[in-house]
Amino acid sequence: MAREEVKKEMRREQETREEMKKEMPREEKMAREGTGIALSALSALVTTLTVVLLCTLLAAGGMLLLTSVYQSTLITEEGDVLVLTKGNFDEALKSHPDLLVEFYAPWCGHCKELAPEFSEAARTLKAEGSDIRLGTVDVTAETELAREYGVRRFPTVVFFKGGEKESRKEYFGATRAHGIVAWLKKRTGPAVATLADVEQAETMIADDVAVIGFFKDAESEDAKAFVRAAEAVDDDDIPFGMTSDDALYSKFEVSVDSVVLFKTFDERRNTFDGELTVDNLLAFVKAKQLPLVTEFSRQNVTKIFGGEFKSHVFMIMSKTATDFEDKMEQFKKAAEGFKGKIPFVFMDTDVMTNDHEIIIKKIFGLKKEQCPAVRLLTHDMTEYRPENEAITADNIVQFCMLFAEGKLEPHLLSEDVHPSIHPSSTAYP
C-alpha cells in the first residue's frame, strides 16, 4: 500500500516535471515578446525624440532663413538716400513707386561729384514730405542688378514712375540738387505750378531759366496752350508757372496776358510775341533758354548736349589771355545770328577737367599752345574747322553759314577719338 502511494507520488512528480517542461518555452516566448514590446517602445521613443529634435533644428534654421530673407529685403538709408540691392530692389519699388536710382561705381569721379547733390535733393524732398525717394546701387557689389538694367556707364541714373520697371526712364537732367528736385516734381506732378504770390514767383525765377504764364482766365485757350507746351518741352530743368494774381502782374510789370521767360543771364527776360500755340511756345523757349555763349562745365553739360541741337560751335582759349574779352565779344556777336539754331560754347583751357580733356585733346586734337581756336562739332562726332582761324565775328558767321549750306569738308583725326562727349560715359566692364 505504501509502495502504491509512493508510485503515485512519483507519477505526479513526473507529470509536474513534464508540465513544467511544457510551460518553459511559453514563458521564454512571453519573455521574448515582452522584450520586443520594450524594444519597440524604446524605438518609438527614439523616433519621437529624433522628430522633435529635427523639428527644433528646422525651426531654428527656418528662423535663420527668415532672418536672412528679412535682412536681404531690409532697406537702409544713408543721408536720406535708400541703399538698394538685388534683395530689396523690388520691395523699394513697391514701397516708393516714384523712385530715382543712381547706379554708381565707388571709384568713378563723376559719381563722387554727383553724390552730395543727390543727397541734398533727397533731403529736400523728404523735408517737404514728398513721396518721391532717391536711391543708389553700388554696381561693384550688385553686378547682377546693374546688368539687369543695362548699366554701361557711370553714373547711370534711372527714374521709375509708379513702381513700374517697364516704364523706367533714364535721367539726363541737371546734376545739381535743385535741378534734380525740379525734374522729379515735374515728372510726378503737374507740368505747371500755380503761383499764388510774389514770393513763390521769385523763388521760381531764381533758377537759371523759368517760364511764367500770366493769364487772368486759367481756362482760356491761350492758358491751355501754355500748359500743353509745358508738358511737351524737352528740357525738364525749366520750371513753368502760371498766375492770375494782380500782385504778380504789377511786380513784373505785365499789363496784359502774356508769357515771360526769366533767366539769370544776358537780357534777363524775354516776352513771347506772336500767336500763342504749342509749337510757337516751344520754339520760343528753345531759342531763349540758352545764353548767347555758354561756358562749358560739368554742371551744365547736359543742358548743352542734351537738347535737340545737332551741332555746336566751340571757342577754346584761356580766360586769362590778354585778348580774351575782345575775342569773346566777337564770338558773342557771331552767336546772335544763330541763337536757337546752333549753340555757341566757350571752353577755358585753364580748367582742364576730364571732360575738358576729352573734348579739347581727344576730339579736337588741340594742344593748349594751339589755342585760341574755333571748332564745330556735330552730334555724330564729326569735326569742322574754319578756313580762316582768325577769331572775328565775320569769320565765324561765314564758317557757320558754309556749314549750314553743306559746303564744308569735315576734318578727320588720324587717332581714335572718345566714343561720347557725354561726361558720364565711363564704360561698364
**From 96, 110, 312, 356, active-site residue:** 110
E-strand ranges in 90-144 read 99-104, 133-138
Rg (CA), the chain: 41
Residue 347 CA to its chain's centroid (Å): 28
Active site residue 79: no
Distance between CA atoms of 161 and 92, rounded to whole angstroms?
Answer: 12
Buried b (16+ CB within 10 A) or exposed e, 25-63: eeeeeeeeeeeeeeeeeeeeeeeeeeeeeeeeeeeeeee
Grid cell for residue 388: 580762316
Distance between CA atoms of 267 and 339, rounded to whole angstroms?
Answer: 13
Nearest CA among 141, 136, 65 for reference residue 103? 136
**From 96, 108, 179, 312, active-site residue:** 108
Nearest CA among 75, 121, 120 for reference residue 94? 75
SS3 content of the chain, % helix, strand, coil (to 5): 45, 15, 35
First to last CA, the chain: 122
Nearest CA among 282, 191, 198 for reference residue 240? 191
**From 111, 135, 179, 371, active-site residue:** 111
Residue 395 near residue 413 (C-beta atoms within 8 A): no
- Supply φ then ψ for residue 14, to 5 degrees: -65, -45
Region at 340 (left for phi over 0; alpha for psi -120 to 50; beta for the rest) = left
Active site residue 55: no
Q: DSSP secondary structure string, 223-268? A: HHHHHHHHHH-S-TTS-EEEE--HHHHHHTT--SSEEEEEESSTTS
* Torsion of Cα atoms, 44 then 48 then 50 then 56, to 10°: 180
Nearest CA among 313, 299, 417, 310 for reference residue 359? 417
**From 109, 163, 307, 365, active-site residue:** 109
Active site residue 371: no
Catalytic machinery residues? 108-111
